[in-house]
């Protein structure tokens, strides 16, 4: 099963695009992609999901891919979208996971769908912009600092900057499939090694092509949503959550993971001292084994 573009109507009439990978009758895991990203984010070899008995469900957040834009959306608005998709698929209970820009959305789903979420992983997640006691920018690459500052201070300039970044991404990837993130970023060598793996580079080419086709509004609206009130409090979370992050991350620095680990109730915190922002395949498979256990197991 590799249906890479299916559609459902959200409660407010918008079109949402989602995809499924792995075992049709496997345990459902909803994956909420990073920023920028889309429904094509997955392990390149679908047999991994099949071997673990997992039904991997992804979707384009509004403004990405084929999902219609929802201007002014907040992080918590993803809950109604996820509900529409799992209801359409007849999924009663599921796990949810997401990394980076997807992680705040994971926490929103946990907070508001506690009766349906069995367990969750919040990986290299962004903390709230106004999180008390957090220096939001400490340890963050200057290029990411600049993007967040534009989101706070100048929406028109943010749109212009992300349009430039999207065009540069397309040009880079046409030459070097491993260059999803430019050399201007001071990524840890561990991150560059993950991005350089042929199977990951090929997948990132497909993701970048989809981003260019879909346009920049999903990216814009994500960036704006992160620095505005999220519409829920992480203290509302009551389901089992693993907060995981890499100590060498300069995209979403370790301080964000530390803060989330302290403020998400009951969170199990796992720190990878040798990792940055991106995960090696073996660690991803270990995470899937935990997430993919049936309810009650």
DSSP E strands, 43-187: 54-59, 94-99, 117-123
Query: In angstroms, rounded to a whole number, what is the distance separating the alpha carbons of residues 253 and 48?
Result: 29
Taking residues 140-151, what's their average pLDDT? 98
pLDDT over 90 at 274, yes or no: yes
pLDDT over 80 at 293, yes or no: no
Q: How confident is the model at residue 2, as a pLDDT?
A: 42
Whether the upstream peptide bond of residue 283 has omega within 30° of 0, thus cis, is: no
- For residue 94, the SS3 value is strand
Nearest in space to 132 (alpha carbons), one of 49, 46, 248, 234: 234
Please state the domain extents for the chain: 2-291
Q: What is the tens place of the pLDDT at every residue in 64-116?
A: 999 999 999 999 999 999 999 999 999 999 999 999 999 999 999 999 999 99
Which residues touch 174 (CB under 8 Å, ≥6 apart)?
none
Do the beta carbons of residue 243 and residue 263 sit within 8 Å?
A: no
Q: How confident is the model at residue 1, as a pLDDT?
A: 37
Q: How confident is the model at residue 31, as a pLDDT?
A: 98
Q: How confident is the model at residue 295, as a pLDDT?
A: 64
Taking residues 124-139, what's their average pLDDT? 98
User: For 56-60, 137-141, 209-213, 260-264, which range has the lowest pLDDT when averaged over its residues?
Assistant: 209-213
Q: What is the DSSP letter of 46?
A: T
pTM for the whole thing? 0.95
State the average pLDDT for the chain.
94
**Residue 132: count of CB within 10 angstroms of its CB:** 7
Do the beta carbons of residue 195 and residue 44 sit within 8 Å?
A: no
Taking residues 110-137, what's their average pLDDT? 98
Q: How confident is the model at residue 92, as a pLDDT?
A: 97
Give percent of the chain with pLDDT exceeding 90: 85
* The domain made up of 2-291 is a member of CATH 3.40.50.1820: yes
Residue that has been written with the tokens 């094509």 in this structure: 40
Q: How confident is the model at residue 211, as a pLDDT?
A: 87
The pairing of strands 241-246 and 117-123 is: parallel
CA-based radius of gyration for the chain? 17
């Amino acid at each position: 099963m590799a249906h890479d573009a299916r559609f459902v109507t959200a409660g407010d009439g918008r079109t949402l695009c989602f995809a499924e990978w792995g075992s049709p009758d496997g345990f459902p895991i909803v994956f909420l992609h990073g920023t920028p990203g889309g429904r094509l984010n997955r392990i390149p070899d679908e047999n991994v999901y099949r071997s673990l008995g997992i039904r991997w469900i992804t979707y384009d957040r509004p403004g990405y891919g084929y999902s219609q834009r929802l201007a002014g959306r907040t992080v918590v608005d993803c809950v109604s979208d996820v509900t529409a998709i799992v209801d359409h698929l007849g999924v009663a209970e599921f796990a949810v996971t997401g990394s980076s820009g997807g992680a705040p959305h994971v926490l929103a789903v946990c907070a508001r769908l506690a009766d349906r979420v069995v367990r969750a992983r919040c990986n290299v997640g962004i903390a709230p912009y106004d999180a008390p006691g957090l220096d939001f920018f400490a340890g963050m690459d200057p290029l990411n600092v600049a993007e967040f500052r534009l989101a706070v201070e100048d929406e028109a300039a943010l749109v212009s900057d992300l349009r430039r970044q999207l065009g540069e991404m397309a040009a880079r990837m046409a030459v070097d499939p491993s260059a999803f993130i430019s050399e201007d970023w001071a990524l840890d060598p561990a991150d560059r090694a993950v991005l350089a793996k042929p199977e990951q580079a090929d997948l990132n080419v497909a993701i970048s092509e989809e981003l260019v086709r879909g346009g920049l509004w999903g990216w814009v609206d994500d960036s704006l949503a992160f620095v505005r009130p999220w519409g829920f409090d992480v203290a509302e979370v009551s389901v089992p959550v693993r907060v995981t992050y890499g100590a060498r991350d300069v995209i979403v620095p370790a301080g964000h993971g530390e803060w989330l680990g302290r403020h998400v109730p009951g969170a199990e915190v796992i720190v990878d001292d040798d990792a940055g922002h991106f995960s090696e395949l073996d660690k991803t498979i270990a995470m899937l084994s935990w997430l993919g256990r049936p309810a009650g197991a």
